[in-house]
Amino acid sequence: MATVDALLREATDRLRAAGSETPRLDSELLLGGVLGIERTALMAHGEAPVGEGSAFEFRAVVTRREGGEPVAYLRGVREFLGLAFATDQRALVPRPETERIVELAETEVVRRLTGAPRPAGDPPIRIVDVGTGSGAIAVSLAARLRSRRMLDEADLLATDDAPDALALAKENAVAHAVADRIRFALADLVPADEPPFDLVLANLPYVTSVEMEGLSVPVTFEPRHALDGGADGLDVIRRLVAILPAILARSGAAFLEIGAGQGSAIVDVVAELPGRWTCFVEPDLAGLPRVARVER
């Protein structure tokens, strides 16, 4: 009967040969997923025997990983801002860079609720997560506002044009007990009958057509329509920016995730809007352009 250490060494060698950049980490995550334990437990009990059934299952998922399938899809879960999100091929794998949108949105909601006296009966802050995918942005924001006891002051809408992705987002909302606090709508960007929003949040496709052809193998398992942003990567984002005058409240703000090389381009896109608009690009932890803040 194989031990934890032996299986990890075997898988690490296989994944290294297959080109994984993190073969040991991949192996630990996959074995932990099969056994239902944390990585720390694996490292603490390397001599523990693994049953034949579990070893067979582990080697099978390693084979799939050798073929390039993302670890998040193989495990069925990905952490995002400390929360576990169900992940599969219905939507993009939530990524750390997208956490910045949630952090900025949370800060903005707190500022609006605490920056000045709020008269009784004021309507809630209207927020839309456009292209919600797995629901990572909307669900994480709802969970954070709940922990601050501010969720009652927010009206959250999550939209997507893919029914499968929207179903996954609902599942994640249920898992984190916020399904009754988020409205979900199948729509191309934003439903036409919605009043203006105070906050518009979006992680839309922004990979350029050229970059699409050179994606790493794991990324090719993710939905292409959720990645492909056209010639300059801004086709879908440009369509959302074009309707901001109609969907954004006078004092509202939009937070749009962009690619690392699109900081100047998004400023130019916003400059084409009628009237006076500002666009400030927030950097990520690596100092790269990541989230465009757009306001009147």
Is the pLDDT at 73 greater than 90? The verdict is yes
102 and 248 inside one domain: yes
61 and 182 inside one domain: no
pTM over 0.85, yes/no: yes
As a whole number, mean pLDDT of residues 125-150 equals: 97
* Residue 162 resides in a domain: yes
94 and 231 inside one domain: yes
Is the pLDDT at 119 greater than 80? The verdict is no
Is the pLDDT at 182 greater than 80? The verdict is yes
**pLDDT digit string (tens) for 250-277?**
999 999 999 999 999 999 999 999 999 9
Containing structural domain, residue 30: 4-67
SS3 state of residue 225? helix
Burial of 152 (0-12, 13-18, 19+ CB in 10 A): exposed
Confidence of residue 46 (pLDDT cuts 50, 70, 90): confident
139 and 169 inside one domain: yes
Q: How high is the mean pLDDT of the chain?
A: 94
**Count of structural domains within the chain:** 2
Q: Which of 239, 161, 160, 237 is nearest to 206 (CA)?
A: 237
**pLDDT digit string (tens) for 215-254?**
888 999 999 999 999 999 999 999 999 999 999 999 999 9
95 and 12 inside one domain: no
Confidence of residue 10 (pLDDT cuts 50, 70, 90): very high
As a whole number, mean pLDDT of residues 117-125 equals: 80
94 and 57 inside one domain: no
CATH number at residue 282: 3.40.50.150
Is the pLDDT at 121 greater than 80? The verdict is no
36 and 99 inside one domain: no
Amino acid at 31: L
115 and 205 inside one domain: yes
CATH number at residue 62: 1.10.8.10
* Residue 232 resides in a domain: yes
Residues 6+ apart with CB under 8 A from 128: 156, 157, 158, 159, 190, 194, 197, 199, 200, 201, 247
Residue 150 has a pLDDT of 95
**pLDDT digit string (tens) for 284-293?**
878 889 999 9
As a whole number, mean pLDDT of residues 73-77 equals: 94
Q: Distance between CA atoms of 40 and 46, rounded to whole angstroms?
A: 10
* Residue 161 resides in a domain: yes
* Residue 99 resides in a domain: yes
* Residue 78 resides in a domain: no
